Amino acid sequence: ESEAKWCKNALVKIIKEENARFISFRDVPVNPSVLGEIALSAEPQIEQIFIAANIEQDELERKLYIIRKRIEKEVRNSDLSEKAMFHLPSLSSRVIIYKGMFTPEQLEKYFLDFKDERFTSAIALVHSRFSTNTFPTWDLAQPFRYIAHNGEINTIKGNRLWMHARESLFKSELFEDDLKKLFPVIEPDKSDSASFDNALEFLVQTGRSIPHALSMLVPESWNTKNPIPKSLKAFYEYHSTFMEPWDGPASIMFTDGRYVGGTLDRNGLRPSRYLVTKNDMIVMGSEAGVQAFPGDQIKEKGRLRPGKILLVDTKLGIIIPNEEVKARLAKQNPYGNWLNEYRLNLEDIVVKNRVSSDLGEKHNTYLKEFAYSKEDIELIIKSMAINSAEPLSSMGNDAPIAVLSKKPQLLFNYFKQMFAQVTNPPIDPIREGLVMALTNYIGSVQSNLLVDSPEHCHLIKFKSPIITNTDLGKIKDLKHASFKNVTLQMVYPVKDKAKGLEKALDNLCKKAEKAVDEKNNFIILSDKDVTKDMAHIPSLLAVAAVHHHLIKVKKRMQVGLIVETGEVREVHHYAMLLGYGASVINPYLSFAIIRKLAKNGDLGDVTYSKAREQYIKAIGKGIMKIMSKMGISTLRSYHGGQIFEAIGLSKQLVDKYFTGTTSNIDGIDLEEISDEVQTIHSKAFQINGDNGHLNHEGIYAFRKDGEEHAWNPESISLLQWATANNDYQKYLEFTKVTDEHTKKPTFIRGMLEFKKNPIDISEVEPVEDIMKRFVTGAMSFGSISKEAHEAMAIAMNRIGGRSNTGEGGEDKSRFIEEENGDSKRSAIKQVASGRFGVDAHYLVNADEIQIKVAQGAKPGEGGQLPGHKVDKIVAKIRSSLPGITLISPPPHHDIYSIEDLAQLIFDLKSV
């Protein structure tokens, strides 16, 4: 109670300081008896405040916005123990919000105001969905101040960072010096929907219309595959140069008290349907029938399309269709002319000097410095240069995670890609390429981002984030006031170890900040200057350090980061650099390797220029695959998004250089990183060493003296002998070897111990009862042999466990019991995204139906059965043709929302 009083006094004080008049507080009448146990335990004290000011309404709205942002900041920075409970759902002369932790049916029972017939409104915005990615709390209940959001913002981490970085470039004639009172724009520790609402509110309050602001934050696809007017395409491209899309599946309903409407994300991954009655009422919701009307009262009905807006002006009493809304936006300014006049396309910049990929005598030194192996060249780079695609291999990685490996590791290996799950599906980069783009812009944004201006177009447009040596040379040679650059070296004195590395990183950040102050538009981070005394700073560490330092000092938007590095070769490496702030990357050593392969005839008839082009294409396809795993459509959204989890890096390291990155398992610091760099560096500059010889490190396949593998010659031979000869003693040897290997440890699970809380043996089930809990892995017929698949089913049925078909269907003959009483029928039938072999006969022969929402071993990527494995029997069971490679898409193309999943469950149950 005392803390509530403190908050009220602070609020009244701020109201007076802002030259407004405090009228009174009002206790909101509520009925707590309708709440559930959890909601009741967290129920806040709810009051309304009344404020007046003798100014026109728009100005009053801005005044109330300042008051709210100030009190939020004051409470947040206070020492109050319950400060997290303080929340102003609305502070507006146009909108009033009632919300809480309850169902829609409980709303009017809890808030007694709804029983008062004097309460009337032309608009009602209702959000009745449950929280999917945050723990429910009273303040995070929807709607928020402007929106009700059904969906997930997959790029939220990057969106928040970029909004923070932009704050130094915000100026407003409407707020003038008061603008700083609104910072931070994005409230910390809120949900993705709350952050989106913060951004939308800021753009609207500073002068943009709701449709304009929404079209900046959630633009429709405007690439060459989408047939929209050129003027509208120019509008979207102009705004994309300084505002990345807030990407993810989203149906957004919005209102400012006058306008009300809805919009969908570019993929249209959430349902939104509407109808208009003959007495001019419009109803929109995620499902048809949210509000039922007799058929003779309905004048019109329809659904929102991807990226489209439906807008209602309640003051004029009209519906404004998407075409009219977008036409007005496109005509506000000559966006196309501005882009044509000021924006440069990389391919249009004149080449002054072609830069060779040949590294001469340094070639082998660079290979050693950046820890290249024969596998990197033969399996990765060569394969991509020939096939324009990443190489395929069998799934599963039985090598130790980086922090547990005894071999020196690249820093990239300490991070894992995150992926969209369940209510938030991945997208399909092949079938949904219409909405995907690798376009990026690089340059300096120096002017006020709250006002449309041609100055925002002083950028270079890149169709791919991978640039050639000659492309980088073009940028370095560019003589233009708006395109000034400086090169900073990512190296440090190797003898100084961790302290030298830390000092070099600090100096690099200071030099980058100074470069911004000196009006440089591009910073080129290069590791080419490695020498015997100067080792490379891991490019990921350098990029992340500079990126976060510039965000911290609010100078990140003023410069673009180009990375010239010999370290990257795999798609994962590129994705990480882009995810931590790099705009474009020049992999000079990969190009040098491709050139040498072509020169030596190792690429067949493929020329160097063609091979380089195909390598870039392969990397691009791989980046799109990684983006799609997280449900992200554009590189602009992915850039700086940090969609990774660190495993085995210390909290201090992550907090300082990879701020905001998820890290649940602590580990190494700069000391170990510098040790690993030193180990690698010493091989590059060893005296009398064979500098041209590269080891086969055995990362992807076991090699003597290479990386350890859980499946090695010893374990495989023991298992093969045991199964071929029915030798139980050999099997026990096999289990002993694998258990010992697990304890080394190789994987995280090898470090876990059981928590023991013993109970009396009389309370424990018989030993044999545990067998009914045994299930097999969901390995499909086709990925493993007929004999193996059937053997597992027979074994599980004998002991009372359950075998799983996997996603490849099951031969109908297996549904019939054998003469000896055995059954080859799998109790668990899987329904996956490819729906291979799924029909009514298959489903009714299941004890359990399992919907595979995502691939377990390669989440977000889908599955692939190579054509050579698809024989006549496999093809028949999967309802396909022999020899055809079978790909199950990353998502189920009929599951993009909770409603879709519920529908599939209903349909399967019906069968």
- Report strand pairing: 662-668 vs 250-255: unpaired
Please say whether the beta carbons of 879 and 647 come within 8 A: no
Q: Tell me the C-alpha distance between 818 and 638, whole Å.
A: 54
Find tokens 């290997």 and name the residue: 741
End-to-end CA separation in angstroms for the chain: 57
Rg (CA), the chain: 30
Find tokens 């206790």 and name the residue: 27
Find tokens 């990685």 and name the residue: 397
Q: In what order do the strands lie in the sheet with 584-586?
A: 485-489, 522-526, 560-564, 584-586
Q: Tell me the C-alpha distance between 859 and 630, whole Å.
A: 10
Q: Tell me the C-alpha distance between 20 and 50, whole Å.
A: 11
Res 856: pLDDT: 59
| Helix, strand, coil percent values for the chain (each to nearest 5) | 40, 15, 45
Residue ranges of the alpha helices (H) in 270-429?
Answer: 322-330, 335-342, 363-369, 374-375, 382-387
DSSP H or E segment with residue 644: strand 644-649
Res 211: pLDDT: 96
**Six-digit token string for 498:** 């961790």
CA distance readout (Å), 654 to 6, 361, 577, 670: 37, 37, 15, 11
Q: pLDDT tens digits, residue range 159-177?
A: 999 999 999 999 999 999 9
Q: What is the DSSP letter of 856?
A: S
Which of 312, 178, 302 lies closest to 256 in space, CA to CA? Answer: 312
Res 700: pLDDT: 86
Please say whether the beta carbons of 526 and 564 come within 8 A: yes
**Six-digit token string for 364:** 């082998």
Please say whether the beta carbons of 812 and 837 come within 8 A: no
- Secondary structure class of 837 (helix, strand, coil): coil
DSSP H or E segment with residue 201: helix 192-205
Please say whether the beta carbons of 557 and 536 come within 8 A: no
Res 691: pLDDT: 59
* Amino acid in position 643: I
Report helix angle 608-629 to 588-599, nearest 10: 140
Res 893: pLDDT: 83
Q: Which residue ranges of the chain lie beneath pLDDT 70?
A: 130-133, 421-423, 687-692, 855-860
* Amino acid in position 905: I
Res 846: pLDDT: 95
Where are the extended beta strands (E) located within 156-308? 250-255, 259-264, 273-277, 282-285, 298-303
Please say whether the beta carbons of 412 and 604 come within 8 A: no
Which of 94, 127, 385 lies closest to 251 in space, CA to CA? Answer: 127
Contacts with 46 (C-beta within 8 Å, 6 or more apart), sequence order: 27, 28, 30
